[in-house]
Structure 1
Amino acid sequence: MMVAEFRWTTVGTVAEGELFTVDGAEVWSHKWLKTGDDAVQLPHPDYPAQTHRFSVYRIEKSVGEVRFAAAEVSPNVWAFYAKAL
């Protein structure tokens, strides 16, 4: 695991199964594929003093793919980040 070397931006925090999209993809409706990238240590979006290990995933869509970092920050509560532009 490594500390993030580039910028990530918060996408949000959501209860598992609740409607939530990352770059237009509804995350719970797609299979998450690990990218092979190292996990990153990022702050909890709502409690920045807490850091968590975020795995990096991709979702394949008909028009390309969506990449994001996700971690279960509390039981059944997930936080999502995307690479900042």
Structure 2
Amino acid sequence: MKRRATASSGAAGEKALANWASLGMRADGLDWPLSDATEWPDFSLWRRIGEVHLPHPAYLSQIHRFDIYEIDEDGITKVFAFGEMSPGGYAFYVPTDP
């Protein structure tokens, strides 16, 4: 399964967000946004399934490439987009469509 959205500039960031919701920024390895865990799961458990172009959560006119991953947590497969916005600062998005 691959999810793909593209955006080029300005208002395009809002268009790309039509299928994704931001979970904000996280420091490297801290506060896993997909559950109540305080640390991120081992990266070897993440399965890359595609990529998407989405805006920086704080600066919607800045479009970045995010890798899309799946991970199994507590018997549930979760899909999310993940990208490094600055050294040690990562943004997370989750799909809004089923």
Q: TM-score, normalised by structure 2?
A: 0.71
1: CA distance, partners of 2:28 / 2:17: 28
Which aligned segments of 4 or more residues in structure 1 are displaced greater than 4 angstroms? none
Alignment CA distance shift 1:7-1:25 (3 Å): same
1:29 Cα shift? 1.9
What does residue 71 of structure 1 align with?
Answer: 83
What does residue 48 of structure 2 align with?
Answer: 34
Higher strand share: 1
2: CA distance, partners of 1:7 / 1:13: 18
Residues 15-60 of structure 1, C-alpha deviations (whole Å, 9 max, x = no match): 10221221x274612421112x3x1110000111111101100111
Q: Name the amino acid aligned to 1:8.
A: W
Higher helix share: 2
Q: Which has more radius of gyration?
A: 2
2:72 corresponds to which of 36, 60, 74: 60
1:76 Cα shift? 1.0
Q: TM-score, normalised by structure 1?
A: 0.80
Q: Name the amino acid aligned to 2:79.
A: R
Q: CA RMSD in A?
A: 2.3
1:74 Cα shift? 0.6
